[in-house]
Structure 1
Amino acid sequence: MNFKNFSLITITLVMIMVLSFSAAAQEKLVVNTYTSDPAPRKAMKELVAKYEEMNPDVDVQLNITAHEDFKQAIRIWLTSDNPPDVFSWFAGNRAAYFVEKGLVMDISDVWKEENFYEKFPKAFKSISVFNDKAYFLPHNYYWWSVFYRESIFKEYGLKEPQTWEELLEVGETLKANGITPFAIGTKFRWTAAAWFDYLNLRINGADFHKDLMAGKIPFTDERVAEVFKKWKYLIENDFFVENAAAYSWQEGLRFLSNGDAAMYLMGQFILDATSEEVSKDLNFFRFPILDKSVPVAEDLPTDGFMVPAKAPHPELAKDFIAFLGSVEGQRLFAEDLGRLVTNKNMPAEVYDKLTLKGREMIDNTDKLAQFYDRDMDPELADKTMNSLMAFWYSPEDYRNIMKEMEAHRQNFIND
């Protein structure tokens, strides 16, 4: 045999062996997520690439599924004998469901080793820890608050209200000058649900709210009546734009944009839905306090990650979870997507002025809820949100509406 050809064959065989050995030496980590929109998809891919760069002996298989399809598939994956090692999910009640079913792994050791109890704002413990064990890794979130036009407040000498009484005073001043206090569009019912959330959180507190959302407390409880009474006052005293059900939340935004309304209870994403001119004129304040003895809670829809109980590579999964909770594991979502992330050590300069104000508000929050239809069973949420819309049209009928909501709860319990 020609020596040159023999050498080439030998070298080729050696390279194949080396590559095969290298591939065999790599550990595989399977991660399933619902980050299917273009920007989050790109950020998630780059996040995985960063982890692989830091851990060259790990090959991450990232599977991205459309949001609604993911929510159906995850229950199948978690009960199968071959689940992913890590999956993205929602905090709070939806995470608690998998905990109660024994489908996810206790990651308290990661929380302790990485000191996430100190690195994350204290309120995140309330949506991640169940029965004193951590099961959820909160990663990124957006905040809710009352957004308002600074120019309108300045024109009428108004200050950000901190109490219910101050909010009512602001509203009366605005109405006296021909401006509707609140913009809203309830064509899609969740905007109305936000008002129920916040009034209940302020009057009865986060623990009561979570139990109510979980179906553990009757909707006919007198404490729920107090929520409707406060809300009824606002509706009957023209604190909201007329014919709200005719508008989507974006269409309702036009009242804020053109100055016909001054405030809007909405999530952070409102900043992306307005013109640049209006966005620069927007500021926000925490939903006012109704009872100083009630711990301050906020609606804070939070996305994060969990580890299946049957994860094929549990130690590797926990290492990836530790990475996701680090500054490096969250930087891309903060810088590229403009998301607020949970690690308090993320440099402040990553955020713009308003987002930084949002982070500071959450740093000084006691407890968290997710949102009406995230904290409640989807079918029960759907039916009771119809009841909330009935209340919007007939606030004086709130007692019968409470009974209707309770009937839905009873059906949910019996099913």
Structure 2
Amino acid sequence: MFVLMVSSFLAGCSSSESSSGDGETELSFIHWRGEDSDAFKELISRFEEENPDIKVEMTVYPSEKYQSTAQTLLRDGSTGDVFTAFPGSQFEVIKKAGLFEDLTGEDLVGNFNENLLEAGQDGDKQLALPLQLVYNQPVYNKTVFDELGLEPADDWEGFLELCETLKENGYTPIAFPGADIGPGQMMNPMMMNNAPEGVFGELMDGETELTDEWWVKTLAQFQELMDKGYIGEDALGMKHEGAIAQVAQEEAAMLASGSYAMANIKELNPDLELGLLAPITVPADEAQFEGIHTTTFMLAVNSKSQHKEEAKKFIDFLSQPENAEYYANETGQFLTIPDINYESESLKAAADWMDKNTRFQPRYLIPDADVEKAVIASIQDVLGGESPETAAKNAQEIVNQKTK
């Protein structure tokens, strides 16, 4: 009888982990975008109203922590029935751990633009579904540009000239969050026309090195921006929030991050008119790409989950046009869901980028997290005064260790 009582008690504890005690299934949803929490809370409320037998518990982690710990969180299936993943190295790590439920052939996949799903695929398998379409290139203050008669430049010399004009008129040309996301974001437009597509695959195969011209040139151009005072002296200590504030307060004219920051800037200063641009680092007639795009915030079902059908139902709900439209306009994010009416000013301002020739974010094509960190660190080293050649050499040593 004692054994039966203990067994019954343990069974009760186990079931309480997956249900709320009144027949409801508890679904764990984890992601890294704290700024989207209010929008998700509303959507979760709507979902629970439609599905009274499912309760969704949302947990948000800082993006850097999420990058490094998501795999561990997912392992036992108790956390992250529905989770989000970054493309690139994090996707590869989670894939190798076997933590993605294969969604190939599920009806919900049809909710997404099929041309924007590649980042979540492994061969012919659809393991994750990118929700956001992001442009990873500088945001700029169109109001200031118009006042000074400036237009986005179509070559490197033109970009330097507009930076000089901004500096002469009392603006920091580029607010650069070098303490967190700046180097990893700005590297993409800076290298998009300097390096061929697939270059990081070639790097891992030993067919090219960071000490080759494509990366040393990119680092040298970062150095030029720093030496000429176009990036603030406090760049290495600047976090994204501080850089956003600099643009909102009209101290800086450009922000080295991406379209996802436009809503945050407008929240602080609704009067600003914003746009997107990408520095063209080559002569105009040699430029192949106009900017950078990423399909990210990839929705996935944990293969270890005990509630896979409920998890799929939640992703299906989030990707229905009316719900996706609410999320897009509340958060200022472009999405991979077709037929959405974008109402926010930030999104309308950047809508023309959908028709431009953009390159998928190169950084997310680095398959190894340590190599990615080394590449980003080489930018920080140059901003800190290291020569491009030495910074590239130090980063290549990390690559050599990993590839061997």
So what's the TM-score if we normalise by structure 2?
0.75
| Equivalent residue number for residue 29 of structure 2 | 32
The correspondence of residues 91-240 of structure 1 with structure 2, limited to 5 A, is 91-110=87-106, 114=110, 116-118=112-114, 122=115, 124-140=116-132, 142-174=134-166, 177-179=168-170, 182-185=173-176, 188-205=179-196, 207-209=198-200, 218-240=209-231
Alignment partner of 1:334 out of 325, 328, 333? 328
2:71 is the alignment partner of 1:75: yes
Distance 2:32 2:241 in 1: 23
Aligned pair in 2 of structure 1 residues 24, 365: CA closer, same or farther (>3 Å)?
Answer: farther
8 Å Cα contact 1:299-1:370 kept in structure 2: no
| Equivalent residue number for residue 274 of structure 2 | 283
8 Å Cα contact 1:147-1:285 kept in structure 2: yes
Distance 2:357 2:223 in 1: 27
| Equivalent residue number for residue 241 of structure 1 | 232
8 Å Cα contact 1:183-1:255 kept in structure 2: no
Distance 1:303 1:346 in 2: 18
What RMSD in Å do the two structures reach over aligned CA positions? 4.1
One-letter amino acid matched to 1:64: T
| Equivalent residue number for residue 15 of structure 1 | none
Deviations 1:330-385 (A, max 9, x none): 24423443443331322223x22x3223344246454432867x967555554554
Distance 2:179 2:90 in 1: 22
Deviations 1:120-176 (A, max 9, x none): xx4x3342223233211222465433333334323332223244343234234445x
Alignment partner of 2:300 out of 297, 306, 310? 306
Distance 1:317 1:214 in 2: 38
| Equivalent residue number for residue 358 of structure 1 | 350
Distance 1:404 1:297 in 2: 28
| Equivalent residue number for residue 54 of structure 2 | 59
One-letter amino acid matched to 1:399: E
Q: Which has the larger radius of gyration?
A: 1
- What is the percent sequence identity of the aligned residues? 20
2:397 is the alignment partner of 1:402: no
The Cα of 1:110 is off from its aligned counterpart by: 3.0
Distance 2:278 2:300 in 1: 31
The Cα of 1:94 is off from its aligned counterpart by: 1.5
Q: Unpaired runs of 5+ in structure 1?
A: 1-22
Q: Unpaired runs of 5+ in structure 2?
A: 1-19
Aligned pair in 2 of structure 1 residues 247, 405: CA closer, same or farther (>3 Å)?
Answer: same
8 Å Cα contact 1:301-1:371 kept in structure 2: no
Number of equivalenced pairs: 380
Distance 1:71 1:157 in 2: 41
Deviations 1:201-237 (A, max 9, x none): 2322553257659999632233222322333343344
- 3-state DSSP class of the match of 1:218? coil
